Each structure stands twice: as structure tokens, then as C-alpha cells.
Chains A and B, each alone.
Chain A
């Protein structure tokens, strides 16, 4: 792992954010470097998904304090589409259905938009078709999937695979997977995990948001963070996830109280 500053992709500093006046994030600090995989775990309502959406620039949330540096830019200055073009990718917890728009058409527009931003060549429909079919093999997807409307009538597993396929097409710098494992059976989980591992390399970074250890059996994180009430309350290595699995989230509390008591 690199330790020099050039390797930092994302630096979140004391991030506070709210939705409709309600504060959800209460001071998040997180640094992510190239080549790293971070897992963020925590109970429902701890702010994990909010954090993911804020990184992606969801318009419903307001950042009230703190800042986010992404690849030496002020991320909060960028619109959500600019962030995507700059390499931030969010795999949605609940991928959105877009009736009437063929998946192939949607994927190609997304791909070409991002390619153009990166100063690369666009692909015409035929070239793109070859390209996307190659990527689909990785995720064991059926070809008819390209002709169907985006996510419409897809099973939970198909929707999640579609997210990972999009990630494979857009080759993000920072991939954020928001509970991609939820609603997947074990076979689908393995396929998705294989896709993510395939995409993960020394130049990019991943943030996995999850409730459960089981995803981390297949994608091994470098760091595990535990989130509660809008803060990261504990950070550790991959073994932290196993301890959580064994002892539950209350264990972190007790452990923290213990540490806090000792240090004061």
C-alpha cells in the first residue's frame, strides 16, 4: 500500500449533513487511498447509505459542515454528473427502473458520456454491443437483458448485477457499493463479488457498505469501519468484521465505553 499523499483518492473531513433539516451525518472522517477496499458496517439508520448518496451528490441532502477532497478537487463543488464523470460510481441499494429506455441504450449513453469526458473515443452501437457483451460474460448475464428496459421487471439479483456491469463499463476511480449484497442469494453474491474483485486494482478504490460479514468473505477489505448515529465509531482491519459477526454491534459499544473509560 502506498503511503504518500498522491495515493489519496478521497479525504472526508468532519462531514456533517442533513435532509429536510434533520442531521444524519455528524462528523465523518475517512481517508481512502488507491488500491484500498474499505467496508463500512453498521445498523440500519446509522447513516451509511446517506454517506454514500452524499459522495455521489444526491440533491436531497445538504452538507452543513466539513469538506470532501476527491482527487485533489473539492468534491462538494461538483454536480452529481460531474462526479460520475470524474470517476465516482455508486452502485445503488435500490437500482431505479426506467421504463421505455432500453438497457443497451442507457449503458451506451453513460459509457460514451464518461469516455468523452476522459478524452477518449466514443463507441458506435455495434462496437459498443461487442464491448458490453464481453463484460456481461463476467457477470453471467443473458443477452436479452440488453433489450429490456433499464431495471424494469428485473429480479433483485439482476438489478444488482446490472449495477456491477455499469461499474465495469465506467471503470470508476472510486466505486461505492451500497448494500449490493442485500437480497442476493449465495450464487449471485459470488458472481457479484467476482465482478468487484475483477475490477478492483492498484489505481482505484472501493467502499463497500454492508450489514453483514458474508460479502466480506468474498471481497476482502483492507479496513472495516463501524458507523453509528452519523459517525464512524471504530475502525479496524478485516478481523473487525468477524468480531462484529460474532459479538454483534453492542459489543462495539461496550468496547468503546471501556476504552473511553480507560483513556479519561
Chain B
């Protein structure tokens, strides 16, 4: 990616400033009427309304799960408004009105000046270079037949594709939050890579035409046809604020024969303040279906934000010789909680999966790795390698590992390695004695710890992720 594109990656709130469209807000609460309203507002075909209603009916019969190693107050689902036209951010008259803490954050992350204003919600008429870049970008994609748009647009313009794949990887009744999402999702991304096409560039959510906010129930669907490949980037390192506390997204990936999907996330939602007040609950269902032979699904995530992160990007390895990968860094500080990991379901023959998970806990936070490796009876010669490392910064935080391994085929080979380490006073003194202060020392140790995961990220993303981690752990020692 060029520097220009990289800048674009740094502009998460560009769409947040597009105002207007509609101003209606549905009354709080969830019932069939709300769902009919959402579907009607979006001018959806009948089958999609049925999809939503089916999900809703299943959701009604489900109870909210509590097995995860996180604590939060009970969510009142009838207190949420499920349809609202995107709200414009409250605009401020000048940079002087911006929360100094936020400005400091931008400073640390090296967000360019003009973007800082935009991110902070200051009413400046900034003309981004990105407009023309976006256009070129879209033209280039269209040339090779790639469809990349919002899921609402896809429903209107490519209903047959959406209908064919939506809910095939994460069924409507998969779990409590996925069912809720299926009933009420408002927007998200859609991406289709035709047969044999290698996507010529990394696709980032910021290049979507649609300027609406995806809201709290985001829905993403990515399809790679035979021999196609794509690298998709979600999120950004700049801190993202939102008035909606609960975020329950669903992401579905489908890879056909010889297809390759690489999905990278850098998540930095508002984590709450130092005392654990506020912050986003990020309860996400992400799953990839390696449907065809020799297909590959690769998840890379850097989770630094949210008060609670609860997600398990998973791979269903159905095609013979298919490959699943999960590379994760989860950082928690202050009172953050993270329960994250993956599921690798081996169905096809000679399927292989790799799990590399790095958890870093600081402050009073808690971080858990939870992962399932399942080798079904049909998965001849399946292989899995898992490595789960935890690092503790300070002595008030916790790290937990919950690996589940189910093997139903004798030819399988499954390996699991785990370690826990601690950034010690002695290490910091050693750095100090060589002239290096504790912040730089922690940053170096942590980045060394996460190296295997960062190597999987597109380069600019990796550079930003490195900075972001240092920032997140600032003042966590000494």
C-alpha cells in the first residue's frame, strides 16, 4: 500500500460525517414489527425479511450465554433501539473543544493533523484526497469483476449472491448474538471475488462507497470463488468511539476450491476509562468456511480495544487439503476483559490448521484464550499446531488458557504449546542500565512477544499495530 492508501486506513470516521439520509428512529425494543420496519426501510426482498424473522424467532427461544470468562451487567435487549438512521457526530466548533485526552492519543499514534480534527468531530470542511483515490480504486476493482460494496447495496444489486451465501457459514440460530444480528443487522460489507481473480490490492472497509455507519449489528460476507484470493482489512488503529455499548457483528467467509481469504483486524474500540467505566462490548461471531479443496482461510487479529472482547474467529475446514490459520494478539489493560480464541473444525482429508495466540494483560485486566480443535471422523491425516502464550505486565492482571481438543480420527496429529511469562522489574532495570526507559523497554519486549502475529499483517498495518500496542501499555509498569 502506498502512503496515500495508508492515510486512508487512518480515516475511520470519514463515513461518520455524512449526515442526513433519514432521521427516523424506531421505538426501543425488539419485536416482529421492528424487524418488518427495518426490512421495509431498506427495501429488502421478501426472502431477507423471512431470514430475519426466522432468526428472531430462534433468538426468542434462546438464552444469553454465560460460560465466557468475562463479567458485565445484564443487557436489557428491550432498551435498545434497533433501527436508527445514522446519527451525525456532534460537531465541535474548534480543536479547543476536543477532549485533551483524545488529542494526546492522536499525538501518540501519529495521526496526521487534518485527520485529528475529523476524528475528533470538529466541523472542518476537510477535502480528503481519498475521494479520487477511492474512485480509482473502485474502477480498478470493477475491471477485474470484483464486487465490493455495502451489504445493503449488495442486497439490491446482487440479491442472488447474497441469498446463496448469507447464513450458510453462521446459521441464523448459531448462537444468541448471531441470531440477534441476523434478525436486526443494518449494514456491513459485501465482497465477491470472481473465479480465478487475485484481488490486486488489500481491501479495506474504508473504501466502501456507502457512507453509512454500520451500527452496532454489522454484517459482513466475503466470497472467494474458485482460485480467487483476497486480503481484507477491518478496523484501524485510531481509537473509535461509539454511543452504542453493545456490538454484535457477524462475519462470514466462504472460500471455494483453491481460494484464499486473508482477513486482518485491528480493533481499537473505546475500552472505558481507567476505572473501567464505559467502553464497548464487542461480541462478535466470525467464521470462515474453507469449502473447496485446497482452500485457505486465515484470520489475523490485533485486539486492543473494547471493555469486553468476546470472539472466536473460526475455520470450518470442509474441503480436502484446506488450511485454516488464526494469528491473534489480544491486549488488555486497566479493567478490560478479553475472552478470545478460535475454533478449527477439521472435516476434509489432509486439512491443516495453525493457531498462534498471544495474550498480554496489564493493569487489572483479564485475558483468556479459548480454543477448540475438533478433528471429525472424516478428517484423515488432519494436522493442528497451537501455540498460546500469555504475558503479564504487573501483578494485578490475569491470563487464562482454555484449550479444547476433540479428536475422532486416529490419523490426526494435534500439538498444543502454551507459556506464560512476565515482564519483570529485572528486565526493565537491565534495559534502563543500557539507557533505555521503561516505556521503550516494554514496547520492545511486547513487540518481540507478538512478532509472529505482526508478521502476518500487511506491512503498514503491522507498523501501526506496533505503535498501538506501545500506546496501550503506556504507564502500565513502573
Scan B426-454; emit 1 where CB is below 8 A from any A CB, else 0.
11011111111100100011011101000
Contact in complex: B432, A81 (CB < 8 Å): yes
Chain A residues within 8 Å of chain B by Cβ, number:
31
Contact in complex: A102, B448 (CB < 8 Å): yes
In the complex, what residues of A have CB within 8 A of residue B415's CB?
A: none
Known contacts: A105-B444, A106-B444, A109-B440. The answer to whether A96 contacts B435 by CB under 8 A is no
Q: How far is the CA of A198 from the CA of B434 in the complex (A)?
A: 20
**B273 on the A face (CB < 8 A):** no
- Tally of A-B residue pairs with Cβ under 8 A? 72
Contact in complex: B433, A89 (CB < 8 Å): yes
Scan A25-63; emit 1 where CB is below 8 A from any B CB, else 0.
000000000000000000000000000000011111000
**B94 on the A face (CB < 8 A):** no
**A114 on the B face (CB < 8 A):** yes
Contact in complex: B430, A170 (CB < 8 Å): no
Q: How far is the CA of A96 from the CA of B431 in the complex (A)?
A: 9
Residue of B421, B424, B425, B435 with highest tally of chain A CB at under 10 A: B435
Closest to B478 in A: A59
Contact in complex: A101, B436 (CB < 8 Å): no
Chain B residues within 8 Å of chain A by Cβ, number:
21
Contact in complex: A149, B448 (CB < 8 Å): yes
In the complex, what residues of B have CB within 8 A of residue A96's CB?
A: 424, 426-427, 429-430
Q: How far is the CA of A95 from the CA of B434 in the complex (A)?
A: 12
In the complex, what residues of B have CB within 8 A of residue A92's CB?
A: 430, 433
Contact in complex: A79, B432 (CB < 8 Å): yes
**A84 on the B face (CB < 8 A):** yes
Closest to B429 in A: A58
Contact in complex: B433, A56 (CB < 8 Å): yes
**A261 on the B face (CB < 8 A):** no
**A100 on the B face (CB < 8 A):** yes
Closest to B451 in A: A100
Q: How far is the CA of A105 from the CA of B448 in the complex (A)?
A: 10
Known contacts: A81-B437, A100-B449. The answer to whether A57 contacts B432 by CB under 8 A is yes
Closest to A151 in B: B430
Decide if the interface of chain B is mainly helix, strand, loop or mixed.
helix
Partner pick for B434 among A79, A84, A149, CB 8 A cutoff: A84
In the complex, what residues of B have CB within 8 A of residue A85's CB?
A: 435
Contact in complex: B445, A98 (CB < 8 Å): yes
B465 to chain A, nearest CB (A): 15
Residue of A59, A60, A92, A109 with highest tally of chain B CB at under 10 A: A109
In the complex, what residues of A have CB within 8 A of residue B427's CB?
A: 96, 98
Contact in complex: B444, A109 (CB < 8 Å): yes
Q: How far is the CA of A58 from the CA of B427 in the complex (A)?
A: 11
**A69 on the B face (CB < 8 A):** no
**A90 on the B face (CB < 8 A):** yes
**A182 on the B face (CB < 8 A):** no
Partner pick for A59 among B425, B444, B448, CB 8 A cutoff: B425
Contact in complex: B429, A59 (CB < 8 Å): yes
**A7 on the B face (CB < 8 A):** no
Q: How far is the CA of A110 from the CA of B264 in the complex (A)?
A: 33
Closest to A101 in B: B448
Closest to B421 in A: A99
Contact in complex: B445, A84 (CB < 8 Å): no
Partner pick for B429 among A80, A100, A105, A166, CB 8 A cutoff: A80
In the complex, what residues of B have CB within 8 A of residue A59's CB?
A: 425, 429
**A113 on the B face (CB < 8 A):** yes
Q: How far is the CA of A56 from the CA of B430 in the complex (A)?
A: 10
Partner pick for B435 among A95, A100, A114, CB 8 A cutoff: A114
**A117 on the B face (CB < 8 A):** yes
Contact in complex: B435, A84 (CB < 8 Å): yes
Q: How far is the CA of A80 from the CA of B437 in the complex (A)?
A: 9
Scan A63-105; emit 1 where CB is below 8 A from any B CB, else 0.
0000000000000000111011100011010011011111001
Can you list 20 pairs linking A and B with CB atoms under 8 Å apart?
A: A60-B425, A80-B433, A83-B433, A84-B435, A92-B433, A95-B430, A96-B426, A96-B427, A96-B430, A99-B448, A100-B445, A100-B447, A102-B448, A105-B448, A106-B434, A109-B436, A113-B436, A114-B435, A166-B434, A170-B434
Q: A80-B433, A100-B448, A170-B435 are in contact. List 20 more A-B contacts (CB 8 A).
A: A56-B429, A57-B433, A81-B431, A81-B435, A81-B437, A84-B435, A90-B433, A92-B433, A96-B424, A96-B429, A99-B421, A100-B445, A100-B447, A100-B451, A109-B444, A110-B435, A113-B434, A113-B435, A113-B440, A170-B434
